[in-house]
Chain A
């Protein structure tokens, strides 16, 4: 392959990780007072902020109202300073609209929408710094924000990307690996039941390798869910300690 060598002969990646190793994850819940729920996550150098409003009355056009469940409204945006080259429009371009749609599909699978007929739940996610795996950072941040808002969900939704280089699946790709020309796959998982909420792959991959790649992504999602679980439990303990009577 011309240019960068994504996997060294010793089996290490560009940033020194092993193929199945994730980047460092740090997260916080309840970062804003105004929103119903909010969260901030850092996955390596990718940083995302998510806020949740709702469930509330459907605003805007009434025709969107569903009589048996809640409408989920997602908006994905990237800060103009999030990429190496300054972005013109923070949201509304084709890529962002597609991402918003994917987020919507993911959370419709996880949130118990049938409990809130005629309502709307807004999820706004913003990428503050982009270093690969934007979709997964957004899903993980939004999961924490939804939990913070007290909206009922079946389970956590955890997402992770995975790539395939030199017959080895790589978990949690960074920007250089994503743009390196290899195949990449994004997967959102409900870890306890093992159901897949969303699976997306843009490039070509031989059918024989698909299982290995998905398995790598699912393992990565499960380890991410453990990290998120720790964050939620810590937050839960802190808040319930303060509000005890």
Chain B
């Protein structure tokens, strides 16, 4: 049996000429004084140190009129109302589920903010409270939308639309939330034969494109039909493409994923994660994205 073996190599250095391209950005590290002018407002990632506005995280300074924020390169998910998230149920409590969404506190999904089977106008009885585990139990994956943000930063989710609900068969990929590009829609049916939910929280769900949805099920019906091999291959390829893009810090959205998928086609699925192949594919993707932008 052939075995692929690799030796450690020297890490590639980014050329100094390229690094100078970031000169226009205002990059700061913790403890850097941004301004000692008192006319500015203190935003996220900053604190006041003896009347001097000081950065508390490493990142780029963003200024909106009088408000100064520092946006870190990588952080946990900071949810905003309307964000699409993919999460995992960690706990079933009274009238609520706790959902792990890569946020700094577990999110809450209230029984009153889900669509139960039987349609919109169904009353939630005490019986529903007892059978909550029947709908969603610990370990289940769901897609949901952020309904509101509590004062301590915890998120309240809802699944009151047919597109949200329990996730069935598919693959979950975790990337940094800052790599997911904000777009009008985060649900995509890709032309290559699979669908993807790009959660704002960095959880990406890849699944076979569903057929006709059964309205009555209210998003709690999960198909246990075996997925054909062809679909599984497409999903595996997309997963490796996602990991390749994330490793090279390319923003994730439908176009970048599709371009990466297309440029990976000459290679075998398992080869995509080899560093040299990964670099080639990502380079081609970047080039195509730049050409498209013009």
Chain A residues positioned under 8 Å from B27 (CB to CB): 233, 236-237, 240
Question: Taking the complex as formed, is B60 at the interface, i.e. its CB lies under 8 A from any CB of chain A?
Answer: yes
Question: Taking the complex as formed, is A55 at the interface, i.e. its CB lies under 8 A from any CB of chain B?
Answer: yes
- As a 0/1 sequence over residues 223 to 248 of chain B, the CB contacts with chain A under 8 angstroms (1 = contact) are 00000000000000000000000111
CA distance A65 to B272 in the complex (A): 43
CA distance A233 to B73 in the complex (A): 12
- As a 0/1 sequence over residues 204 to 238 of chain A, the CB contacts with chain B under 8 angstroms (1 = contact) are 00000000000000000000000001001101111
CB pair B73 A239 closer than 8 Å: yes
- As a 0/1 sequence over residues 20 to 36 of chain B, the CB contacts with chain A under 8 angstroms (1 = contact) are 01100101011100000
Question: Taking the complex as formed, is B105 at the interface, i.e. its CB lies under 8 A from any CB of chain A?
Answer: yes
CA distance A237 to B14 in the complex (A): 10
CB pair A37 B58 closer than 8 Å: no
CB pair A245 B73 closer than 8 Å: no
Shortest Cβ gap from B98 to chain A (Å): 8
Report the nearest A residue to B90, measured CB to CB. A57
Question: Taking the complex as formed, is A36 at the interface, i.e. its CB lies under 8 A from any CB of chain B?
Answer: yes
Chain B residues positioned under 8 Å from A56 (CB to CB): 76, 104-105
A-contacting residues, B19-67, CB 8 Å: 19, 21-22, 25, 27, 29-31, 45, 47, 49, 56-60
CA distance A156 to B30 in the complex (A): 7
Partner-contacting stretch, out of A74-82, A130-138, A142-150: A142-150
Q: A243 contacts which of B31, B153, B247, B249 (Cβ < 8 Å)?
A: B249
Given A33-B247, A112-B47, A241-B22 in contact, is the A155-B30 Cβ separation under 8 Å?
A: yes
Chain B residues positioned under 8 Å from A118 (CB to CB): 105, 152
Q: A152 contacts which of B57, B100, B250, B251 (Cβ < 8 Å)?
A: B57
Chain A residues positioned under 8 Å from B72 (CB to CB): 150
CB pair B29 A147 closer than 8 Å: yes
CB pair B104 A54 closer than 8 Å: yes
Chain B residues positioned under 8 Å from A33 (CB to CB): 246-247
Of B104, B248, B249, B250, most buried by chain A (CB within 10 Å of CB) is: B104
CA distance A10 to B227 in the complex (A): 77
CA distance A112 to B246 in the complex (A): 29
CA distance A182 to B37 in the complex (A): 49
Question: Taking the complex as formed, is B172 at the interface, i.e. its CB lies under 8 A from any CB of chain A?
Answer: no
Question: Taking the complex as formed, is A89 at the interface, i.e. its CB lies under 8 A from any CB of chain B?
Answer: no
Q: B104 contacts which of A119, A147, A243 (Cβ < 8 Å)?
A: A119
Please report the total number of B residues contacting A with Cβ < 8 Å. 38
CA distance A240 to B74 in the complex (A): 11
Shortest Cβ gap from B217 to chain A (Å): 31
Question: Taking the complex as formed, is B75 at the interface, i.e. its CB lies under 8 A from any CB of chain A?
Answer: yes
Chain B residues positioned under 8 Å from A112 (CB to CB): 47, 56
CB pair A151 B57 closer than 8 Å: yes
Shortest Cβ gap from A60 to chain B (Å): 13
CA distance A20 to B59 in the complex (A): 33
Shortest Cβ gap from B96 to chain A (Å): 14
CB pair B47 A152 closer than 8 Å: yes
CB pair B47 A241 closer than 8 Å: no
CA distance A30 to B27 in the complex (A): 18
Shortest Cβ gap from B72 to chain A (Å): 3
CA distance A238 to B72 in the complex (A): 14
Chain B residues positioned under 8 Å from A229 (CB to CB): 29
Given A57-B106, A147-B57, A155-B30 in contact, is the A243-B76 Cβ separation under 8 Å?
A: no
Chain B residues positioned under 8 Å from A4 (CB to CB): none
Report the nearest B residue to A243, measured CB to CB. B249
Shortest Cβ gap from B240 to chain A (Å): 14
CB pair A236 B73 closer than 8 Å: yes
Q: A154 contacts which of B47, B60, B247 (Cβ < 8 Å)?
A: B47
Q: A236 contacts which of B29, B178, B248 (Cβ < 8 Å)?
A: B29
**Known contacts A112-B47, A112-B56, A241-B18; 8 further A-B pairs (Cβ under 8 A):** A118-B105, A147-B30, A150-B58, A154-B47, A238-B14, A240-B27, A240-B60, A242-B249
> Interface on B for A, CB 8 Å cutoff?
14, 18-19, 21-22, 25, 27, 29-31, 45, 47, 49, 56-60, 72-76, 98, 100, 104-106, 152-153, 178-179, 246-251
A-B contact pairs, 27 of them (CB 8 A): A33-B246, A33-B247, A36-B74, A55-B76, A55-B104, A57-B105, A112-B56, A116-B104, A117-B152, A118-B105, A147-B29, A149-B75, A150-B58, A152-B57, A153-B30, A154-B30, A154-B49, A155-B31, A190-B31, A229-B29, A236-B29, A237-B14, A237-B19, A238-B14, A239-B74, A242-B248, A244-B22
